Amino acid sequence: MNTVVPGMRMAGSGCPAIRWKAVAAVAALLLASLPTLAWYGRRLDDGSDEPLGLIALLAGLGTLGAAVRFGGRDRDQVRIAAGRMLAGAAGLAVVQAAGWPRYPLLTGLLTVAVIGFSLRMPRGKAGVMALLVLSLPLVASLDFYAGYPLRLAAAEITRWLLKLGGLPVERAGVVILEGERMVGIDPPCAGIRMLWTACFVAAVLAARLRLSAVRTLALLTMAVGCVIIGNGLRAAIVFFPESGRVAWPHWLHPGTGLLVHGGVLLAVFHLSGRLARLRRPRGSLLRRGMVVGFGLLAVVAGRTAERPGPIETQGIDEKWPAVWEGVPLVRLPLSKVEERFAAAFPGSIARFRCGDAELILRRTDRATRRMHPAADCLRAEGFTTHSEPAHRDADGRLWGTTRAGRDGRSWTVRERYVSAGGKACTDASAWFWNATLHPEAGPWTAVTMIRPAETP
């Protein structure tokens, strides 16, 4: 039987023992989550992710604290089911012992699930749980997994809007074509930060308005839809100056993004009010939709997630080139950081000196999250990074481009991901989805070229 402990309430006779069970349950959960908490701290400090999660964490804890302290007659109903939390802590400990620390984001989601399973609130819990999910370091993972699909959606909406306006455009992947004009939707234009912000605002409003779980899920889904539509609209507007049809000041490009971002947030505010005023929805239908949706997500995650186990590289050609574009390559040893990364990488890594540049080659025969952009590693090593438009070299090949800087110096980082057949992607998210949907096209080689930036 679960022991239910009122949160933050003075206990009468016999209540101290019940309160100690809650303290023990919280302590057990913290102990079981120590590897995840350590990862959380590293991700907030290593520069590979943005510390936006701290804002969501403070908002979630503040909302929960306000519900306990100022909840009026509902205050005594904010409770911790100590038995449930202890059982969840035991389950997390088993997961950690089974080697799941190699998937810290999943263990972080499991920790939030245990909190939600153990916390009893009359209303508004779903919004608090959504804020706790958003408190995890999600931006880099969202960029990797959702960046390319969001760009595809934006490109299709852009094509549709421009055709509606009478322009004879076509879409090739994430590139909009109009005759000789070609405008690509680059990774920075995926709308990841707009997506995070819209979901954060939706979660805060759901907690503030004390929406049910079904309505909270509906609001979050609508927020995602608003982001997709808004990002497509922004890309359609930006197409005109990027294609050379019109000329406008440079500041109007980010200004358009801010304007659309604000419109998306206003739409989320409006939708939250409409949901709060609705009569009781048909819960059974919505719940069935939730079950089907989460079932599909589970199937997709199960098919695309990396499986733990020994790394096999027999199918990978380990031969590295001796010359790159006519320049002899000099093999360089991996740094200690690179050696640690290579030990868990499902493939092989080599580092070379190529004239005045450094060339890094990574080769794998599977879709893997570890084939992340070089910019993630650079930020983790203290570099500042700034995405730039794709670069077309003398041979007509496209490269993803990032400007990196540290200690007053700057470097140009160019990257592309090439299949065994020679087809290439310019960013990690596009490569991941192509490798997932076409595993027969491997092995793939990520080519990263780092050279000092040209001084103006």
| Average pLDDT rounded to a whole number, residues 233-237 | 91
Coil vs helix vs strand at 392: strand
Crossing angle between the packed helical segments 139-164 and 192-208, to the nearest 10 degrees: 100
pLDDT digits (tens, 9 = 90+) for 112-169: 888 888 877 777 788 889 999 998 888 888 888 888 899 889 989 999 999 888 888 8
d(CA 267, CA 312): 49
pLDDT digits (tens, 9 = 90+) for 326-384: 889 899 988 877 787 788 888 889 999 998 899 999 999 888 888 888 888 888 777 88
297 with 149, same domain: the answer is yes
The residue among 66, 61, 79, 63 whose CA lies nearest residue 9 is 79
Q: What share of the chain is helix, strand, coil (3-state, %, to 5)?
A: 55, 20, 25
Band of pLDDT at residue 264, cut at 50, 70 and 90: very high
User: CA torsion sign, 140 to 91 to 218 to 79?
Assistant: negative
150 with 63, same domain: the answer is no
The residue among 240, 238, 218, 233 whose CA lies nearest residue 264 is 233
190 with 46, same domain: the answer is no
338 with 251, same domain: the answer is no
Q: Is residue 316 part of a domain?
A: no
Q: How many CB atoms lie within 10 A of CB 90?
A: 14
Q: Is residue 314 part of a domain?
A: no
- Please check whether residue 118 is in contact with residue 42, taking contact to mean a CB–CB distance below 8 angstroms: no
Concatenated DSSP letters of 12-53: -TTHHHHHHHHHHHHHHHHHHTHHHHHHHHHHHHSSSS-THH
Longest dimension (CA), the chain: 84
Coil vs helix vs strand at 156: helix
pLDDT digits (tens, 9 = 90+) for 410-448: 999 999 999 988 888 888 888 999 899 888 888 999 999
- Please check whether residue 415 is in contact with residue 402, taking contact to mean a CB–CB distance below 8 angstroms: yes
Would you say residue 269 has pLDDT above 90?
yes
153 with 275, same domain: the answer is yes
Number of domains the chain contains: 3
Q: Is residue 312 part of a domain?
A: no
Q: Which domain holds residue 416?
A: 323-452
Residue after which a domain boundary falls, among 101, 134, 167: 134
d(CA 416, CA 432): 12
| Average pLDDT rounded to a whole number, residues 391-413 | 87
The residue among 183, 314, 152, 329 whose CA lies nearest residue 246 is 183
Partners of 180 in the β-ladder:
none
Residue 440's CATH number? 3.40.1000
The residue among 359, 304, 350, 317 whose CA lies nearest residue 443 is 317
Q: Is residue 386 part of a domain?
A: yes
149 with 80, same domain: the answer is no
448 burial via Cβ count (<10 Å: 0-12, 13-18, 19+): buried
- Please check whether residue 219 is in contact with residue 211, taking contact to mean a CB–CB distance below 8 angstroms: yes
Q: Is residue 313 part of a domain?
A: no
65 with 113, same domain: the answer is yes
146 with 262, same domain: the answer is yes
d(CA 246, CA 233): 17
Q: Is residue 80 part of a domain?
A: yes
155 with 286, same domain: the answer is yes
> Identity (one letter) of the amino acid at 207?
A
Q: Name residues whose C-beta falls within 8 Å of residue 138's C-beta, 6 or more positions apart in sequence.
A: 49, 53, 105, 196
